[in-house]
Amino acid sequence: MTLRDVARAAEVHPGTASKALNEATRDRVAPGTVRRVLAAAERLGYQPNTFARGLRTRRSYAVGVVLPDLANPLFPPIVRGVEKLLAKAGYATLIVDTDNDPAAEERLLAMLRARHADGFIIATARREHPVVEKAVADGVPMVLVNRLTDAALVPAVAGDEVAGISSAVEHLVSLGHRRIGHLAGPQDLSTGFGRYRAFLDAIQRFELAAADCPIAFADAYNEAAGLQAARGMLAAPVPPTAIMAGNDLIALGCLDAMAEVGLNCPADVSVIGFNDLPMLARLDPPLTTVHLPQEDIGAEAAKLLLDCINEPGGSAKRLLLPCHLTVRGSTASPMPPRPR
């Protein structure tokens, strides 16, 4: 079945049928006509010919999504938000996983460009990112998601990390904590650096002594890195009574480090994560964490990318979505220190 068959069955012009079948242009057609066209398409079993459409418009109607680690539970909800939005506009999503390897990222991005992807959503950005800068110079439509570059050359969507960290520290202070540690994420990533700077600002705002608020840097966003960073912090003569982790996976590593030395959460040390990954409510104790609106971030990134594709040359808009603290069982008021 062709578009002309659908138009003939619905008794409309093929151009009208085309607009009615495309969610991006459907609002230009009378609602009754849209219903008639959709009913005819369903009755005839019509499937749009994306290849023919691409020949007319010089587009592939495919978007590349470049991820640093598909096994990280943060990214599937972001991809879901991207896919839902792009599917409504008639686009397919091509997902690649770089496994945090810059060389693989460059190779996969080149592969997707060779396949004429209309644009890219990039979740692998580092603060200094030559691959992104070169693609921008080549005029490739692109949006960063979750992570930003220092050079504001590319549209981007992320969470308001400053507000998220501030709310977490405020929560701990309200419980009575004065010794709050921070397990920071990798400093070459905007998320690691931004949350670290936000933590420094927060302890200053709440008048906490810097000497009582130790900081350790994890070299990756995973449990092993969190475990390694937390070990040193917990081995201090007077360890913190609360720890703000750079993300949920680092927080899980921190809980492992506490178990190694017989510390209880939250009786001995309260722990807060960041991102609010799925299943955290099932931990024992359930993890208090800063909620990042992951699916919304993906959807907004897809919207920005469609704008870039349809209207090239626009400004590099940066959108920060609100984050909020989700309080669960891993935080409580500090108890008197136990003999060690």
pLDDT of 87-140, one tens digit each? 988 899 999 999 999 999 999 999 998 888 999 999 999 999 998 888 888 889
Model confidence band, residue 51 (pLDDT cutoffs 50, 70, 90): very low
> How much is the average pLDDT of 33-47?
89
pLDDT tens figures, 58-70: 667 899 999 999 8
Instruction: Yes or no: say if 272 and 248 are a contact pair by the CB < 8 Å rule.
Output: no
Q: What is the pLDDT of residues 204-214, one digit of tens each?
A: 999 999 999 99
The per-residue pLDDT for 54 is 46
Mean pLDDT of the chain: 91
Q: Is 244's pLDDT higher than 50?
A: yes
What does the alpha-carbon distance between residue 99 and residue 324 come to, in Å, rounded to a whole number?
29
Residue 52 in this model has a pLDDT that exceeds 60: no
Q: How many CA atoms lie within 13 A of 263 on its CB side?
A: 28
Cα dist. 71→76, 97, 133, 298 in Å?
Answer: 9, 9, 27, 17
What is the rounded average pLDDT of the residues 290-314?
Answer: 93
The whole-angstrom separation of Cα 13 and Cα 160 is 47
Give the model's pLDDT for residue 53.
54
Three-class DSSP labels, the chain: CCHHHHHHHHCCCHHHHHHHHCCCCHHHCCHHHHHHHHHHHHHHCCCCCHHHHHHHHCCCCEEEEEECCCCCCCHHHHHHHHHHHHHHCCCEEEEEECCCCHHHHHHHHHHHHHCCCCEEEECCCCCCCHHHHHHHHCCCCEEEECCCCCCCCCCEEEECHHHHHHHHHHHHHHHCCCCEEEEECCCCCHHHHHHHHHHHHHHHHCCCCHHHCCEEECCCCCHHHHHHHHHHHHCCCCCCCEEEECCHHHHHHHHHHHHHCCCCCCCCCEEEEEECCCCHHHCCCCCEEEECCHHHHHHHHHHHHHHHHHCCCCCCCEEEECCEEECCCCCCCCCCCCCC
What tens digit of pLDDT does each residue of 183-202 get? 999 999 999 999 999 999 99
* Contact (CB, 8 A) for 302 and 93: no
CA dist 93 and 60 (Å) reads: 11
pLDDT at 59: 65
Answer yes or no: is pLDDT of 281 > 90.
no
Q: With 80 as the cut, is the pLDDT of residue 30 above it?
A: yes
**Are 147 and 191 in contact, with CB atoms under 8 Å apart?**
yes
The pLDDT of residue 50 is 54
How would residue 318 be classed by pLDDT, with cut points 50, 70 and 90?
very high
Give me the pLDDT at residue 226, please: 97
The model's confidence at residue 219, banded by pLDDT at 50, 70 and 90, is very high
On whether the CB atoms of residues 76 and 146 are closer than 8 A, the answer is no
How confident is the model over 38-56, as a mean pLDDT?
71
Say what the pTM is: 0.82
Whether the predicted pLDDT of 55 surpasses 60: no
> Is 78 a residue whose pLDDT tops 90?
yes
pLDDT of 241: 97
Higher pLDDT, 137 or 217: 217
User: Averaged over 240-260, what is the pLDDT?
Assistant: 97
CA neighbours within 13 Å on the CB side: how many for 174? 8
The pLDDT value recorded for residue 45 is 86
Which one-letter amino acid corresponds to residue 290? V
Residue 335: the pLDDT is 83
